[in-house]
Structure 1
């Protein structure tokens, strides 16, 4: 059995200047992966990733996810290629539809998010392979575009998905999927089935690799804070959607989600986590040894 990768999220509800101490703690403790979000209108995923990579030597940094309606695909390819050349093998990038309300706010909402994501993934992955790309799609148009500095080895490009059609698209067009927190083990199994359907239809490898966010909290106020998350995200119940408790309880939950098909589990603290450095240290030093 493959070892489960374990990481944590730096939520963009915190100001950017908080990032350095979190990165330094993650590096010190040996955290495997630190993931960042590009939520509107908070923090840039690429800028924070570049800083986090520069402040560390071994930490892998994920960005999940970049909203494609906001970003020209050539610019995104240039940014990813630059990060990969500067910090080989240490960056993981996911793209996705973006929250449609936010896209509407900036006049970037499209009629067919599925078409845009498919065109975007095809073009982005080709550019990062060093190909010269010409395409006249519904949303993505490129004319003889080639990166001057493509990465020596094209990085994986993941994509976020929620609904069945998006799941099948991601399975057929991306190198893996990012699945949102609040997904139960049973729902994850169903999602992976849809991802694999898409991969099979596109004659691509199965099973599709999955990065899963998991709501997690520890300490004396953990349950209270997680109730706030339930209300914030609109869950009817927290059963099988979140985990609270000590290192043993959280590790047991991680193993359950891993058994359901997640290769990477990224623990997502509550926005009001009172000691994020302590949370990072607990993930790396206390939970990690109990997962595999």
Structure 2
């Protein structure tokens, strides 16, 4: 498989702008220029799963990712139900990342955990097992499930990532998820370290295979050209990223120039 590239629909854009972005990304995906469109669930802007559902319904070709869903806001059984529903409705076009969420925001809504790492570990492992069709019994510090099984698990579970910045969370991603979503990546060394750390966690947990590494990278408006985009993507891929997801800055959040630059890059190749 070649390099996977994507763009972010930042929630600084109002929801009513989503459809035009989805249509642009889907048209580029049909030509091989863009693979993924990612949405966020930042407080207190837009819901990640509702936005993803609309994006999937309005598209045919592009894969839609949610990165990330803050685990303190959802019971893992509900999260698994919602993820499974979208994965069955739109097979092979949905990917999801779970994460701590911004801790100040979690405190603001009364959901901050005393041990965010423990919560993320228990929640992610439970969602992963539920999506695999397993009966899940957990009596953890935060997660309590008693014989829970999804009636409609996905035929093929979507890729499940953990969004991470710090090394402990990156390692946890390797232990309990399919891979890691690295945030705020500019320098290739961040990808090199992230891949190594996540893989260490995967191997320590006795899990076979390689950890999938996705990288969010912000690119300034002045750099948005086919050459600028191509250079950023190639540097991060050479460092070990399996997918590179470009995001515009918050002051100019429309990702359609990035979509156009990726499409131009594809045609130039």
TM-score, length basis structure 1:
0.87
Q: Distance in 1 between matches of 2:125 and 2:253?
A: 42
Look up the match of 2:252: 273
Deviations 1:99-122 (A, max 9, x none): 100000011101111111111111
Look up the match of 2:16: 17
Change in CA separation of 1:40 and 1:27 when aligned onto 2, cut-off 3 Å: same
Could you tell me which of 134, 137, 141 is aligned with 2:140?
A: 137
Q: Is the partner of 2:98 in helix, strand or coil?
A: strand
Deviation at 1:183, TM superposition (A): 4.2
Deviation at 1:188, TM superposition (A): 1.8
Q: Is the partner of 1:3 in helix, strand or coil?
A: coil
Runs (4+) of structure 1 moved beyond 3 Å? none
Deviation at 1:249, TM superposition (A): 2.5
Conservation of the 8 A alpha-carbon contact between 2:224 and 2:261? no
Conservation of the 8 A alpha-carbon contact between 2:224 and 2:258? no
Conservation of the 8 A alpha-carbon contact between 1:181 and 1:268? no
Look up the match of 1:4: 3
Look up the match of 1:47: 50
Q: Unaligned stretches of 5+ in structure 1?
A: 223-243
Could you tell me which of 241, 244, 257 is aligned with 2:236?
A: 257
The reply on whether 1:172 has 2:175 as its aligned counterpart is yes
The reply on whether 1:95 has 2:73 as its aligned counterpart is no
Change in CA separation of 1:74 and 1:278 when aligned onto 2, cut-off 3 Å: same
Deviation at 1:51, TM superposition (A): 0.3
For residues 277-292 of structure 1, the aligned pairs below 5 Å read 277-283=256-262, 285-289=263-267
Change in CA separation of 1:103 and 1:274 when aligned onto 2, cut-off 3 Å: closer
Look up the match of 1:225: none
Look up the match of 1:57: 60
The reply on whether 1:38 has 2:37 as its aligned counterpart is no
For residues 225-240 of structure 1, the aligned pairs below 5 Å read none
Change in CA separation of 1:28 and 1:102 when aligned onto 2, cut-off 3 Å: same
Q: Distance in 2 between matches of 1:274 and 1:137?
A: 40
Look up the match of 1:28: 27
Provide the aligned length of Structure 1 versus Structure 2.
265
Deviation at 1:279, TM superposition (A): 3.0
Change in CA separation of 1:287 and 1:46 when aligned onto 2, cut-off 3 Å: same
Deviations 1:27-56 (A, max 9, x none): 122221000000011100000000000001
TM-score, length basis structure 2:
0.94
Q: Distance in 2 between matches of 1:255 and 1:71?
A: 36
